[in-house]
Amino acid sequence: MQNRPNIVVIMADQLAPHFTGAYGHKIAKTPHLDALARRGMRFDAAYCNSPLCAPSRFAFMSGQLISRIAAYDNAAEFRATIPTFAHYLKALGYRTCLSGKMHFVGPDQKHGFEDRVTTDIYPSDFAWTPDWEAHDERIDKWYHNMQTVKESGVAQTTFQIDYDDEVGYAARRWLFDVAREKAHDHEAPFALVASFIHPHDPYVARPEWWNLYSDNEIDMPEHVLKPEEQDPFSRRVMDGIEASYTPLTEEEVRRARRAYLANVSYFDSKIGQLVQTLDEIGELDNTIVMVTADHGDMLGERGLWYKMNFFEHSARVPLIMAGPGIAQGTAKNACSLIDLLPTFIEIAGGDEAMLGDPVDGRSLMPLARGQADPIDEAIGEYCAEMTPYPVFMIRRGSLKYIHCDPDPPQLYDVEKDPLEKINLAGDAAYAHEVTLFADEVGQRWNSEKLRADVIATQKSRHKLHAAMEAGAGEHWDYNPPSDASQQYVRNHMDWTVAAARYRFPPVES
């Protein structure tokens, strides 16, 4: 198991692949992502398994669908008993680290990572628990709304900029620490996840990124529907984010999309810094670098914003791999974030025998090597706010089927109709496919039972959150360990020894 490649995953938040140069956007400035795509594999039908931050990330970490692990929403506990790829990679001898956001909820804030070098950016408790028994009531404290779009633009800094600058710095410093240890014969492959919050709303960018673009080149949404034209689920989302009754001017939409592109470029700069650091420590040629995201952003398409639906701009994610053993090209097969855990295990030299839980994904290494893959499928589940019932998605081949018990079914051919303008569910020519998909939904899921389980966990979490707010127990927000007495130069150290330990590359004897 010698010479196994390192793994570096660079994760964005709310990045739709449509808004990157690597995936064909005409003005998006993403040179570092584009460079990775040119020397590696670009996956053109990669999806999240739930279009919301925490559920998507828990599926990514576990290789399991959210209904299997009860990861329903942004306040669902990610149980410590669920094995993650971080556990498996550590068992295979990798040194592991998380820098940045993973939106873990619950007292376990590491989930198998040996090192975690920053805090998270969002609450780790049950505060953001929805209520399906009052699904149409807004919770103003944490629901999305259109004020975020209206306030988009330029600023010198925001809490998100502060956070991502910290995440990038901490990740690069950890890589240098690993290199220092390797220089002193502490050999082990490493796996780093550097997870940034951009280009997630609020759509506010620093001037140097904002000024990369101009108003007159910003493309506007191509397919916009009025509230009365929406399918029932989209209308509920539109109502929930206040888009149904908060009009936006053309200038506000353009400003938000410009700021989003600016923040995509800012995120791209973080890719460049990490790749440069890998090069500087001599590990780039032995590292598989992956770039992905937890979900996308509608950015006004269909009249919708943010995520929380299974349309392409919300549910698709970028997925690019480059490094040893990775072919140059594009992969057409549908896949999803649950496929990354088995991919990591194969890279690390493990196999299915080491799994503590069954996983729902498959390894993407055959596709990454340019080989054929008989599987062309992505499965999605949404069990969070703005719906009273679970929403399911099956993407197979070019067809995408969306089901929610109280709503009419939706079927789209996303290759012929990428903007999903034509619902084929009522087209007689597709009656056979609709029947097959409907039967499959019934076989895969018990929607009523899942709904009851979701509501039961919501009730218990609301009660627990009230008790915790009253002082029952300590907060779960992660505090990265730090011991200043062992940093830099201290009285118990020989400063020349400390200087030699920190210097990289080390001075040759």
Cα–Cα distance, 161 to 430 (Å, whole number): 47
Both tokens assigned to 434: 């609709």
Cα–Cα distance, 456 to 26 (Å, whole number): 47
Q: Mapped to the 3 state alphabet, what secondary structure does 104-131 carry? A: CCCCCCCCCCCEECCCCCCCCCCCCCCC
Q: Are strands 153-154 and 190-199 parallel, antiparallel or unpaired?
A: unpaired
Query: How many other CB atoms are there within 10 angstroms of residue 201's CB atom?
Result: 23
| Residue whose tokens read 């873990």 | 104
Q: Which helix (H) or strand (E) holds 456?
A: helix 447-469
Q: Which of 18, 32, 48, 53 is catalytic?
A: 53
DSSP state letters, 215-256: GGGPPPPS----GGGS-HHHHHHHHHTTTTTS---HHHHHHH
C-beta separation of 64 from 118 below 8 A: no
Cα–Cα distance, 86 to 66 (Å, whole number): 18
Q: Which helix (H) or strand (E) holds 289?
A: strand 287-293
Task: Give residues with Cβ within 8 angstroms of 304, minimum separation 6.
Answer: 234, 237, 238, 241, 243, 298, 311, 314
Amino acid letter for position 98: L
102: helix, strand or coil: coil
DSSP state letters, 150-190: HT-EE-S--HHHHHHHHHHHHHHHHHHHHHHHHHTT----E
C-beta separation of 297 from 2 below 8 A: no
Q: Which of 18, 32, 103, 200 is catalytic?
A: 103
**Beta bridge partner(s), residue 396:** 377, 399
Radius of gyration of the chain (CA): 23
Q: Are strands 410-413 and 399-404 parallel, antiparallel or unpaired?
A: antiparallel
Q: For this structure, is 103 an active site residue?
A: yes
What crossing angle do the helices spanning 31-39 and 250-280 adopt, rounded to 10°? 60
What crossing angle do the helices spanning 53-62 and 340-347 adopt, rounded to 10°? 40
Both tokens assigned to 83: 């094995």
Q: For this structure, is 48 an active site residue?
A: no
User: Tell me, what DSSP letter sits at residue 228?
Assistant: G
Order of strands, edge to edge, in the sheet holding 399-404?
377-382, 391-396, 399-404, 410-413
Query: How many other CB atoms are there within 10 angstroms of residue 141's CB atom?
Result: 7
C-beta separation of 282 from 321 below 8 A: no
Write out the catalytic residue numbers.
Answer: 53, 103
